[in-house]
Amino acid sequence: MADFIVSPGLENVVVAETDLSLVDGQNGVLVYRNHWARDLAIHHTFEEVAHLLWYGHLPNAEELKALVEALAAQRELPAHIQSLIDSIPADVDMMSVLRTAVSAINVSGESFPPTLQQIIEVTAKLPTIIAHRYARLNNREPLAPRTDLTHTANYLYMLKGEQPTAAHVRALDAYLILTQEHGLNASTFAARVVASTQSDLVSSVTAAIGALKGPRHGGAPSEVTEMIEAIGTKENAEPWMRKRLEGGNVLMGFGHRVYRTRDPRATALSVVAQELAKDDPWFDLALHVENTGLKLLQEFKPGRQLNVNVEFYAAIVMRSIGLPDSLFTPTFAVSRTVGWCAHILEAAQMRIIRPQSNYTGIMPE
């Protein structure tokens, strides 16, 4: 019986070649196709970057108009999905509702191979599902999606019930662009595994949402705001964080499995956060918490190169535009759907993913 070398967490195992992104953890570099992600976040829109990932290039004016309109046309939820969401008890968390509602999307066309039209349908409906549920939880009638707004502006409009400011749309767009794609993270890998079986697009996206829901993957930004709230004052930052570290706990929003230097998404988002929140005392406190955390991590984990990650600044940006903690991970799903779908297209062409395991049980007589 052959024994295989076990790599826990598949660390350093390469299972695919991809044109979609380069995540260089040593140098703190993130590339989407042949573009720096940080430049895309500053100079482009959600739809433009989705076009880059799905179609292989940034769109010209005509291509962009077509994609913006195609997404807008697919936002509305069919009656069966609205009733399904409404039938789920109020104490079921938003990610579970999202996973259930997405699994009921009936995309047009054959179930395999996935098409760009199907990808547009699923991507367009995700924000509406979240906003529908959020409205119900707040005892409001859900707002019909608008077709005259961009993907990001319409999402904010449906959540808040008012036209969002340009600054808020810009800031959320930057976050959504920076988190659209990130190599073979757990949820993207889950999507690729399902797609490699030649199952349908909706099944792959549903699996990915299930993986993103896990606190080790998509759950950190809300814990960053909780940490900063709990710290409360600058004077309390050092004793509070020191106590956490002495107790063997991690500091939320610091460290990363891949980046051994500053997370490039955190660097890009810090510029956005600075513009948005520079006059907010809470932001000032967050910067103090960042500096204190960095100092203490050097003391407690010398030589580990622990820095802030994207979730630290995601928390600041989402709080500044008025999104509650409960929407942080669902909003992450709104952006990462773009990357999942791009990977699903790639994986559908590839060999079925089927690793091995070593049997450690007892053999029958």
Which one, 145 or 255, has the nearer CB to ligand COA? 255
65 forms part of the interface with ligand COA (CB under 6 A)? no
* Among 138-146, 197-205, 251-259, 342-350, the segment contacting ligand COA (CB under 6 A): 251-259
Q: How far is the CB of 56 from ligand COA (least distance, A)?
A: 27
C-alpha to C-alpha distance for 338 and 347, rounded to whole angstroms: 14
**Residues catalogued as catalytic:** 256, 311
309 forms part of the interface with ligand COA (CB under 6 A)? yes
Contact 210, 191 (CB under 8 A): no
311 forms part of the interface with ligand COA (CB under 6 A)? yes
Q: How far is the CB of 258 from ligand COA (least distance, A)?
A: 8
* Among 45-53, 182-190, 244-252, 275-283, the segment contacting ligand COA (CB under 6 A): 244-252
Q: How far is the CB of 191 from ligand COA (least distance, A)?
A: 18
Position among 71, 159, 227, 252 found at the interface with ligand COA (CB under 6 A): 252
220 forms part of the interface with ligand COA (CB under 6 A)? yes
C-alpha to C-alpha distance for 207 and 246, rounded to whole angstroms: 37
C-alpha to C-alpha distance for 277 and 320, rounded to whole angstroms: 6
Which one, 57 or 304, has the nearer CB to ligand COA? 304
Q: How far is the CB of 294 from ligand COA (least distance, A)?
A: 11
330 forms part of the interface with ligand COA (CB under 6 A)? no
Which one, 98 or 310, has the nearer CB to ligand COA? 310
C-alpha to C-alpha distance for 35 and 189, rounded to whole angstroms: 22
310 forms part of the interface with ligand COA (CB under 6 A)? yes
164 forms part of the interface with ligand COA (CB under 6 A)? no
* Among 83-91, 181-189, 283-291, 301-309, the segment contacting ligand COA (CB under 6 A): 301-309
C-alpha to C-alpha distance for 33 and 19, rounded to whole angstroms: 6
User: x-or-dash pattern for ligand COA, window 105-124, by CB under 6 A?
Assistant: --------------------
Which one, 132 or 319, has the nearer CB to ligand COA? 319
Which one, 159 or 310, has the nearer CB to ligand COA? 310
* Among 104-112, 189-197, 233-241, 307-315, the segment contacting ligand COA (CB under 6 A): 307-315
Residue where the block lists tokens 């030589």 = 303
User: x-or-dash pattern for ligand COA, window 253-282, by CB under 6 A?
Assistant: xxxxx-------------------------
Binding residues (CB under 6 A) for ligand COA: these are 220, 250-257, 297, 301, 304, 306, 309-311
